[in-house]
Amino acid sequence: MIEADPENCLVWKIVSSWYQGQSCVYCHKRFAVLSRLDHAPALLRDDHTTIEWNQISPEQLPEIFSTSEPVCWNRHITETFRREHPELVVERNR
């Protein structure tokens, strides 16, 4: 039986190199080297929605990367909740 090495997968190399060194568009946290064990980072699309990179087909990644901005997993979850449940979100000034 041959086991696949995810770290040597071409798609993984493309994705991890695209994120590395960039910052989340929301919190400005810089992306370090991605790990398969971490939560998947996301992308902010033109329609102002976020989507995890692993929910996009590999063929679409180059186009999505050219038109989207990086989003960390924490802010992806926050923004998804804000979009899906606006009635539960309270905005507070700090």
Q: What pTM does this model have? A: 0.83
How far is residue 79's CA from residue 45's CA, in Å, rounded to a whole number? 12
Name residue 30's beta-bridge partners. Answer: 23
Classify each residue of 38-55 as buried b or exposed e, where b means 16 or more C-beta atoms within 10 Å of its C-beta: eeebbbbeeeeebbbbee
Condensed to tens digits (0 to 9), the pLDDT of residues 37-80 reads 889 999 999 999 999 999 999 999 999 999 999 999 999 999 99
- H-helix segments, 8-94: 10-19, 61-67, 73-84
